[in-house]
Amino acid sequence: MVNPKLTTGKIEVSVEDLKVFSKAKTLPFSIEGDGYEINEEKRMKGNMKLKIFLVSLVLSMPFWWGTNSLAKNLEDFWFLQEIT
């Protein structure tokens, strides 16, 4: 359905069926408003956690890259220096 009053676009989606798999007592961010007022600090922390997870995942599997040569090449990046 087209709704020209929406600030995020013209298309409005309606849900026919909804399944809740998990409930949270408190959300990490507010669902009120248009979604653009998310705290910058929370966004940065989320990005940092994702970066740390991805780097640790890659470094935990050195057999993909030989003898841990990926870790040696990544030492120049700041996020590796922060978590080691």
Domain ranges of the chain: 40-83
Q: Measured between alpha carbons, how far is 58 from 68 in angstroms, rounded to an integer?
A: 10
Using DSSP's 3-state secondary structure scheme, residue 2 falls into strand
Q: When comparing pLDDT for 69 and 46, which is higher?
A: 46
4-54 tens-digit pLDDT:
777 776 777 788 898 988 887 877 667 777 766 777 888 888 889 999 988
pTM here is 0.37
Residue 51 is predicted with a pLDDT of 92
Q: Does 64 have pLDDT greater than 60? A: no
